[in-house]
Each structure stands twice: as structure tokens, then as C-alpha cells.
Amino acid sequence: MAELIAIGNTAVDSSPFTVAEGAPKTLYIKSTNNGPCHDVLFMLQKQQSNGTTYQDVLGLDRSNINEKGKIVGAGTFRVQRRASTINSAGMDIEG
């Protein structure tokens, strides 16, 4: 497992990562001491054909990460953490 975004509460973009056809990757939300992070939202974004812009694909939080946190489609992606005023969280990737 590798870290995409360190635990924190500021808005930040992860480094881009590539998902190959037939080689899915799984995203995991993490927080300090498994504490609450219910108000922290992550946005999965896919790189557009121009190679410089990203489009929002899916919002991920604790309520849907287990169901929707597996990326099976090929492409270049990144994760964007939206700023939170209360809790801190980060994201790891595996695959």
C-alpha cells in the first residue's frame, strides 16, 4: 500500500497515477487513530485527453469508499481532498 495523500485537512491534489486495463487499484481513507473523518470529502478525478486538466468522476467519503473505492477503468487519475474545518484524513492506494 502506498500513500496518495498524507493525513490533513487542507485542500490538496495527489500525484497522478495510472490504472492499466485489467489491473484495478483500491483506495482507502485513513485518519489518525482511526478517528472520525465524516466531513472530509475526496474527489476521484480522471485526466482529460489534453493531458493537463482533470474531470471529477466520483466523490468519496467514509460512507461509500468500501463500495466505490475500487478503480477498474484504465486511465490516469488523481485524488483531490477538499478542505475540512473539523476533521483530518488522508488516502492510500493499493494495487
36 pLDDT higher than 70: no
For residue 65, give every residue at least 6 positions away whose Cβ sits within 8 Å of its Cβ, in sequence order, or none: 27, 28, 29
Per-residue pLDDT tens for 55-95?
999 999 988 998 999 999 999 999 999 998 888 999 999 99
Give CA torsion, residues 49, 22, 16, 9, to 10 deg. Answer: 120
Specify the CATH number for 2-94; select among 1.10.3430, 3.30.70, 1.20.1440, 2.60.120: 2.60.120
Is the pTM higher than 0.95? The answer reads no
Longest dimension (CA), the chain: 40
